[in-house]
Structure 1
Amino acid sequence: MCKLIRQHVVCGPDQIVVEFGGGTGAITKALLQSGIPGERIFTFEIDDHLSHFLRGHYPDVNVIHDDCRKAADRLGPNLVGKVGTVVIGIPMLNLPMRVQKEVVEACFRILPEGGRFVLYTYGVGSPLNQRALGLKGKRLGFTPLNVPPASVWGYSKA
């Protein structure tokens, strides 16, 4: 799954990558292995223990211990619009529609016009209601050998 996500992450010379929900750092590690310098990766993690873990294991990465819905404020005007890709590692299916909408809106507040975000899910279908959220999405790949099997989706504004 990590390899599949890496293939779909855009990070131009003056761009950063933002991760919503860094967790234990599997995707963070994959981003670093793809050659993206740690200082150009911004990982939002709301959990105290996980953000501390990420800081300890990935000291070059910008770990932001806060709610990803505050991303535009936390990144500031110098970085908003310079985000090549947002990678969502939050289990969106478990969130109420209102919170899903707020997370999606947070993505589009920091992405440049026409930008997209990617997310992974352990279901086959889209984890987001595209019509309700004003999205157009496409399954970018499926990793049946992952345990559990995972899909990677890309979304942009409809």
Structure 2
Amino acid sequence: MMPEYSLFLRGFFKDPKRVGNILPSSNSLANKIVQSVQWNNVTAVAELGAGTGAITRLITSQLMDSAQLLLFERNRQMREFLKVLYPECMFHSNASYLLKKLIQENIRELDCIICGLPFFNFSSELREHILHQIVKSLKPGGILVAYQHSLHMKRQWAKQLLIENIEFVPSAFPPAFIYICRKRLELPS
């Protein structure tokens, strides 16, 4: 069995509320997520819930050399696995501290966030907190590409972001919804 699959299985059985799936994202899901972003405009991006890098691999193939990539993964074994594969990235354990980590990394704002966090498993307070961190860290017009296994976050995201598209990916296991959301542009005062 490939190491990423065993890491996911162990992580899921150890803490199913934090590791939201038993398998890494499928190639079809990862490709659709990455195709949702205009990478030539991205200089700073964060992936929340990077797992073992199924999507990270595609992100790094699209980024310009000067772009900065922050990977957030709570599971220590998966994070260590990612550090070996992507030593050029910045690694953090907790997406709840996204804004604090941007300041530490001297990054003003993000052009894009890719998010696979299992929001369904989180308390309403934690969901609100992470959503606040996401919205505050995105530049005006910045994009959030989130994938979930239900539509439970649709209303919450629509309050804070413009939902441009929701695509259902039945070939993913389990099937997933990809949300393409954009931070509203700030009006000049």
- TM beyond 0.5: yes
Runs of 4+ in 1 over 6 A off after TM superposition: none
Q: CA deviation at 1:38?
A: 8.7
Q: In 2, are the aligned partners of 1:38 and 1:61 still within 8 Å (CA)?
A: no
Report the CA distance shift for 1:152/1:14 in structure 2 as closer, same or farther (over 3 A).
Answer: closer
**What residue in structure 2 maps to residue 5 of structure 1?**
33
Counterpart selection for 1:146 from 155, 172, 185:
172
Partner residue in 1 for 2:89: 61
Q: What is the Cα deviation at residue 33 of structure 1?
A: 2.7
Query: Is the 8 Å Cα contact of residues 161 and 181 (structure 2) preserved in structure 1?
Result: yes
Quick check: 1:118–1:155 contact (8 Å CA) kept in 2? yes
Alignment of 1:117-156 (within 5 A): 117-123=144-150, 125-130=151-156, 133-156=159-182
Greater shift in the superposed pair: 135-144 or 39-48: 135-144
Matched, 1:32 2:60: yes
Alignment RMSD, CA only? 2.6
CA distance in 2, matches of 1:102, 1:17: 19
Aligned counterparts of 1:149 and 1:126: Cα–Cα separation in 2:
14
List runs of 5+ in structure 2 lacking aligned partners: 1-28, 185-189
CA distance in 2, matches of 1:52, 1:44: 11
The 2-side partners of 1:95 and 1:47 are apart by: 16
Alignment length (residue pairs): 155
> C-alpha distance in 1, partners of 2:66/2:127?
27
Alignment partner, residue 46 of structure 1 = 74
Secondary structure class of the residue paired with 1:26: coil
- The answer to whether the 8 Å contact 1:108/1:115 transfers is no
